[in-house]
Structure 1
């Protein structure tokens, strides 16, 4: 009878974990923490091991985490990062009128592909992301096809793109796990890794900006306000909309291991009143990884 009772208890515990969507590998204590983010995925890149999965396959708005794929497709299709790639006027106007985040470039400004890459990743510039798309493929629609083709190549089951900047539109979605897998693959590209882990970058001098534009990572610059004890956040991408909440995808190092942490969906009521819960969750995870 006792044996039957133990089996029943074990089955109940397994079901409870499945219901809340939590999957923990390796006996770590990450599942015991309290999180603001609804969707979380933690991946030990060094040992190729999943550490934590909380609703990580749920399809959600990715906000500007879309720009991770935008950047990956770009670096795989640019032969010379120093080549001139002017800022597209029409998409500049559209991004400006849509209240998208902007890197600070002007329409027709004669910047380089490298400038647009850093403008997309560090400053999360909508005009930079769309200008990459048009300079590389000739149209935004064609570029989005390339992004979706890359998603298929990576065998992502819960990702679909509608634009390169990440503004919320119906039919555009991703998941915490898919985004982690995009980052994991992209980091094998040296150009991507350089952009993803850069804290600040000064763009090429132009007639519009004679001294260039100083672009700062929305992730690494924010971490100046926080203590990092025993680990280091090497780089990352932020994303924030009312629908998506506050989102982060980061690469960190603790000990000899590299970790990819994706946190998404912390609630947000006012886009001008940020809580930075994604920062809190990321650092909480890093402090507790054993």
Structure 2
């Protein structure tokens, strides 16, 4: 069978934390990862720019024969997914699908809070979009969602400063800001795929009774459920256990950083996206 990998897209390295969970949960499938590192970070960019960049990358993944593309990027999911699904997909390829990480996360998070107060740590772009508030309201209208933008966290991670004492200053500041917004937050979501690398530091500044959630396992389990509900898509995805990596920037730089997120060394290829 001709290879039809599951496309996994992120603005940079962070989506590798999602891909790692996909491979752990569904190792039999083929995957093609694309990191748009040349234009990262997406977080501070406008809705129009994120949409344009994301659409270009989705089209490229479709051209590589990916029938299903996962936007493993909260900013792209928040700023571009809905328009791509509703406006572009019917024109480009109505048989293909593009999914994000926000909806499957909000489907689960409301069930994990006893106090009905949830905290979201995210990029400025994701916070500004209000996507987590909107999607949580659909599934759990009685749950209050408090957000905190953490603009310094991605640069800290991508510059290998996430274990430094300097990182503690920003992590402590943002975590305390979040907790101050709601008096009974008992569940906190890391709504950026970079943030799991800061998890130990974040945990240090949270009360012991607060649940701290990463998205990888949630999104991977959601993909399992999606395939059960959509066998027509599941059958289109090839199963040879192959994984390919592409970046729009330096492959040497990507491979060096990718090992931190993916958990093992990889070899990527360069691609130009326009």
TM-score, with structure 1 as normaliser: 0.28
Higher RCO (CA 8 Å, separation ≥ 6 residues) = 2
The structure where helix makes up a greater share of residues is: 2
**Greater Cα radius of gyration, structure 1 or 2:** 1
TM-score, with structure 2 as normaliser: 0.29
